[in-house]
Structure 1
């Protein structure tokens, strides 16, 4: 192919249209924020920033970052979003300002090293303040009007710990606050001299690790959540008029507030501190406050303003005065990383990548967003049905509604990994393979267990497929065996064990006629098995670790992917190589899927990309960008409406499949398959009319129909 043809192919590649993302980056501190319109919430997921209407649940995706989003904030008017990223050692970490209305990048600067831990806008939206991570530890002030950095300074002194949070007052645009491990500062910007001045907060002998900071509407007081489990209240001492900001005093500690014991019958007579620290704060009117703790506790508290230093029966540990009194409380049972209040609801984000909605009056908890918290291993659609799909991961199987992106069912098997999940052809069972060596079947409606094959493989089940009638299962194990099972609700019988692989079996697929199966292994072999005679029909050798193997719809060809970064086309009959495509320039290709009509294939690889290919031409038509982790699997629904991809960080991306599928190839595939099956049946041992020559001739005819199109010109 000449240069001109290559350039044309590159130009034809388009981006996949993203419908929705199931996931929430719970590890991003204060990553869940609310839009000023009180209708939308904004949060990161990998390299994407998701703007979601809280009522309709409709998602809009803001830009695409090169790396994981580590910090996010929104301006007072809601016009701009600022995000920070995490990069590798030795690289600059960019801060990007997005125009939310026009949905494009407004400005971008790369000054910090490796990671940006916090960003904030000034009240007049003129300045952006960004805070570098441990390897940077600098605070930068960026001017949006002049598109330049005004000034910067080390965020801490040589004897102080790491700075982790930043906050801006609403009435003073030239001031901002930073806090961290043993440090709490107020900063003043002098634009004329392009310098920064700071003052340490006056806290006396009190030593705290500040995790979050909020300022009241009048800019008189600031509240700091600490790792100790109490709340520090300080007087800001800002200038009375926003323009008189040349001189300012240090914030002064008023008190450290802890909880009155929840139970009146508590005999300890000591104050309560929040376990694992106060991670998030939100101020309400009438001197009320919402506190989110590291143990998942969410409290509505009121500050007790009593003159008495020591309430009756409670021993005060300096300087916990006055105390906080619980008004309402609940728990989300996971470390809280974000907390916002919108429309009489408390929206809470947790470290377990879940978002909860808590009614402000009743404190009733509702799970709003959930996802896998770790690597996802497999995807499965029911036969000819695209409205639901299932995913498998650590400890669980989850069934999702494709249109609403909501979880319908969760099947938990603690302490084990589900490596493969699939639906039976009739849709009456979910069959799964686990790393503890078992094969388990569940009901798709309730998740109730139907049957279990104990010790299906000695070192865990790594691959599996089921025949169309649901009566046989072919499984592969980490010890290298391929086993054939006859299954029913009453009994599960081992028909045979095939021992030719010398490594973990990575992928298995059964042919449409249910008489053959192909298995790929990390030992560099791919074997076609006769399921009726339980013998090897064909074997393929390659200098790669096979990761995925798939039959072409009519069964005449086999497609494989592996660590050699290639997509390989093989003849089923004699195992000869037809062609090879460069599946990825730099990474192994983990998964491959072929559409029902055989015209398109989809690949997922370690380069974080999802690609749609034309089968015959071997060219890429669309690329999906957005995953922050290794893309472990990708599947197309039978109707060709959806493309679902999953990754190692637990994210699920639902794309709009860009091509329309036809039924022509499926009809041809069925006719060819029936013709091949008749020939194969006549050639079985014991049949007097069998002729091996006819079998070979018909198989070659079937193969030529596709191979003539796929051979390189």
Structure 2
């Protein structure tokens, strides 16, 4: 974090225009702030605060790895977030001052992962639960920022605790549950101890995913992997009831109590229901895409927000109980971004098994193309705008229509070890592809199919990037073998001690710039392959994406340091820095009118920036 602060010091920041991205995999990761105006959720190693009214985002930076859980105090003064870390290292909990948007406290005790967090009802304490490799519960004093006491979360080593929930009325009572464990805890402050009481469920053996406690603290409701809900008396710890008779498929993943006493229930199969707490009957029901992972209520419960594993966010009103999709995004790393040539109105991204087409001004998903169980590694728009060409891990090149998503052409067995990079010529007659085996191939597109024109075998490892010269007579490829090759009648090769990730032609096409794992940006002469200059591109981590503006005066880079950088090409200095990404930046593009910059990252986010150097008229 300090390295980022050092690097961004005194450099103007890029103006952020929009963010598409939501981590739907964090259980109960989507929260509504008590001010009723903001949604709070993790995205990679950042915490996003998004204004409900207009979608304007703010970011809380401080975590060094992915955020794994989140909680908001009842009075709204604090947000707490925990993270994952590498084995053998401690995972930090950060308490944020909501009003100031700053770090209030950093708490460090748990090993490897913070599993869950909960604030006490009067905001005195925070209880934290460590992951499977840690297995402990800790109670923290928020005022002193120190741990009061801790205890193993489960009664025996075989048990694994998954969730924790505080009482609604008593700062000294909370409940924890998981696999082989369901306990009520009482905080004994004078003796700095927490004392657990085992709940008795008789012959009923269940793994508990989530807990919700009734407003008057009478009952604990436990959602289970079996798909039913257990009702436990909080005073006695005894099983009172369970149901429904037909359990939810793929288990109950999240519960939320309504003011009227009913329960909102989300399941792993995507069903979202209102159910009665007296007989567990379903009162209202809707089917969503993939498993429900978050439910939170806005205000008194007339409106609520739901997040799913498919990285979708929905808004509901209690009255009509209809799902209004308010945001959709990629649920895994975005591998590539391409902006349509000329219009700059559309851009496309690929992640996992799908390609999505978006409108650049209102970041709204216009089209989704899915190839089940495959991974799209790279994509490009053909210059005429009539097709999207794409590279896939099943060794195929697929060509789609950008309006309908119709499959126009498949090239089977295009490469061994997957197709990893792709580009189309300006005349729209040829495709150049690179593969995991290191080959570069040229394909001719024909009215009734395709023909392989050439196979070039110089590279010894994965081809990561291909750029074609404007006259279509030359291309440059960047590879993990440490070579960038300019393909023409005369073969030029530039070699550096790096795994090349990305390469660009300068618009005047007498130079190329490259970058990769050595964190350097290198300028090379196209004609003889000689090195011209080298810049320190990043202080930490590889550079994964790079693009040059149409006038050739500026270029942009992004990489593992999560920073977007705008450079002056001739001066070789950074003019602006963009701070928003919570994961490694995977690709970056400037639109052809020099107004907009799009960057994507490993946490599934797509960020739109105002490009600070528009073309002079």
Tell me the TM-score normalised to structure 1 length: 0.79
Tell me whether 1:484 sits opposite 2:442 in the alignment: yes
Contact 2:21 2:311 in 1 (8 A): yes
* From 660, 667, 670, the counterpart of 2:613: 660
Q: Cα distance, 1:593 vs. partner?
A: 1.3
Tell me whether 1:632 sits opposite 2:586 in the alignment: yes
* From 252, 258, 266, the counterpart of 2:238: 252
Computing the radius of gyration from Cα coordinates, the structure with the larger value is 1
Structure 2 unaligned spans of 5+: none
What count of residue pairs does the alignment treat as equivalent?
Answer: 611
Contact 1:185 1:200 in 2 (8 A): yes
Q: Cα distance, 1:194 vs. partner?
A: 3.0
Tell me whether 1:526 sits opposite 2:480 in the alignment: no
CA RMSD, Structure 1 to Structure 2 (Å):
2.8
Q: Distance in 1 between matches of 2:613 and 2:47?
A: 29
* From 524, 530, 533, the counterpart of 1:579: 533
Q: Distance in 2 between matches of 1:536 and 1:30?
A: 58
Structure 2 residue aligned with 1:420 = 378
Contact 2:63 2:92 in 1 (8 A): no
* From 90, 113, 116, the counterpart of 1:115: 113
* From 387, 395, 398, the counterpart of 1:429: 387
Cα 1:502–1:35 shift into 2, 3 Å = closer
More relative contact order in 1 or in 2 (CA 8 Å, sep 6+)? Answer: 2
Q: Distance in 2 between matches of 1:616 and 1:561?
A: 17
Structure 1 residue aligned with 2:557 = 603
Q: Distance in 2 between matches of 1:193 and 1:303?
A: 37
Cα 1:348–1:8 shift into 2, 3 Å = closer
Structure 2 residue aligned with 1:403 = 361
Structure 2 residue aligned with 1:236 = 234
Cα 1:330–1:521 shift into 2, 3 Å = same
* From 553, 576, 588, the counterpart of 2:507: 553
Deviations 1:292-345 (A, max 9, x none): 1222222222245xxxxxxxxxxxxxxxxxx42222222224222222234534
Q: Distance in 2 between matches of 1:614 and 1:426?
A: 30
Tell me the TM-score normalised to structure 2 length: 0.91
Contact 1:64 1:626 in 2 (8 A): no
Structure 2 residue aligned with 1:283 = 257
Q: Distance in 1 between matches of 2:434 and 2:40?
A: 43
Q: Distance in 2 between matches of 1:356 and 1:155?
A: 34
Spell out structure 1 runs of 4+ moving beyond 6 A.
7-10
Tell me whether 1:339 sits opposite 2:325 in the alignment: no
Cα 1:418–1:603 shift into 2, 3 Å = same
Structure 2 residue aligned with 1:324 = 280
Q: Cα distance, 1:166 vs. partner?
A: 1.4
Structure 2 residue aligned with 1:82 = 80
Q: Distance in 2 between matches of 1:232 and 1:149?
A: 32
Tell me whether 1:516 sits opposite 2:474 in the alignment: yes
Q: Distance in 1 between matches of 2:416 and 2:111?
A: 48
Contact 1:450 1:489 in 2 (8 A): no
Q: Cα distance, 1:398 vs. partner?
A: 0.6
* From 49, 52, 71, the counterpart of 1:51: 49
Secondary structure of 2:490's counterpart equals strand
Q: Which has the higher strand share?
A: 2
Q: Cα distance, 1:121 vs. partner?
A: 1.3
Q: Cα distance, 1:33 vs. partner?
A: 1.6
Contact 1:463 1:508 in 2 (8 A): yes
116-125 or 325-334: bigger deviation: 325-334
107-116 or 32-41: bigger deviation: 32-41
Q: Cα distance, 1:516 vs. partner?
A: 2.2
Q: Cα distance, 1:410 vs. partner?
A: 0.6
* From 332, 335, 342, the counterpart of 1:374: 332
* From 560, 565, 569, the counterpart of 2:519: 565
Cα 1:111–1:539 shift into 2, 3 Å = closer
Tell me whether 1:26 sits opposite 2:24 in the alignment: yes
Q: Distance in 2 between matches of 1:365 and 1:472?
A: 44
Deviations 1:96-127 (A, max 9, x none): 11122222222222222221111111111222
Contact 1:278 1:294 in 2 (8 A): yes
* From 119, 136, 139, the counterpart of 1:138: 136
